[in-house]
Amino acid sequence: MIRVGLCDDEPVLLEKLNQFVSDCYGKHQIFAQVRGFEKGRSLLYEVEDGAQFDLLLLDIEMPGMNGMELAARVREFLPKVLIIFITSHMEYVLDAYELSIFRYIPKADPGPRLTHALLDAASMVGVQQGESYVIHNQSLLERIPLQNLLYITHEGKNAVLVTDLPAVSGERDVCRRVRRSLQQVYDELDGTQFLFIDRGCIVNLSKIMSIQGGCAVLRDGTRLPVSQARLPVLKEKLLKFWKQHI
């Protein structure tokens, strides 16, 4: 699935864009969840509240908060999101160079260029979502995209994977449990993205917003205590991770 956000201050154009995106992905049998916003701040509020998007299609010239301002703010929360600017003013291309925009599409005649951009974006998102941890036991076979894995703790002899995914049938919460030690799970994960912050917890660095009062504060507000011995290591790794990904 690809999660798409659209933003254009003109309702008629927003509806046409929504239909175009839905038709394009439907024709190519790509499952897409598409949401439209008439104001940049409305989209930003959703992202700040935890909404996830893989792809954003933004108009540049909008009142209040323009597309470039919106893109910069959204990247603070979704560093891997792909952004397509749909604009009547291609002279903005150089101004937005530092935002690492995926494509620029002329609003007057999007046509095949937008179709190609949408399909290319879906392929890239598929590659990103291929980075995952697989749970395989007697009752469950599931692929957990790393982008949905918040942190891992333990419960008896089980590692508990805390995610932002819905609960699966038969489970009491959003956690996934696997009969493995934390060290075994850690060895199977990407060592540049995950880190032990104490003996009983591994955190996804991409989900940390700040370190406050000896805790790692995640985007959803969760506070995870960091051992005194691991705090300097976490700060060093997190700073390096942010420099590479934001």
User: Which domains does the chain possess?
Assistant: 2-129 (3.40.50.2300), 133-245 (2.40.50.1020)
Helices (H) and strands (E) in the chain, counts: 7, 15
> Looking at residue 173, what is its pLDDT?
59
Among 63-72, 170-179, 213-222, which stretch is predicted with the lowest mean pLDDT?
170-179
Radius of gyration over every alpha carbon of the chain, rounded to an integer in angstroms: 20
End-to-end C-alpha distance for the chain, whole angstroms: 24
User: pLDDT category, 93, cuts 50, 70, 90?
Assistant: low
* Distance (Å) of CA 207 to CA 59, 160, 201: 28, 17, 14
pLDDT, one tens digit per residue, over 114-123 is: 999 998 888 7
For residue 127, pLDDT beyond 80: no
**Which residues are CB-contacts of 72 (< 8 A; sequence separation ≥ 6)?**
99
- Residue 227 has a pLDDT of 96
Which of 178, 173, 165, 172 lies closest to 137, judged by CA?
A: 178
If you average pLDDT over residues 177-183, what whole number do you get? 89
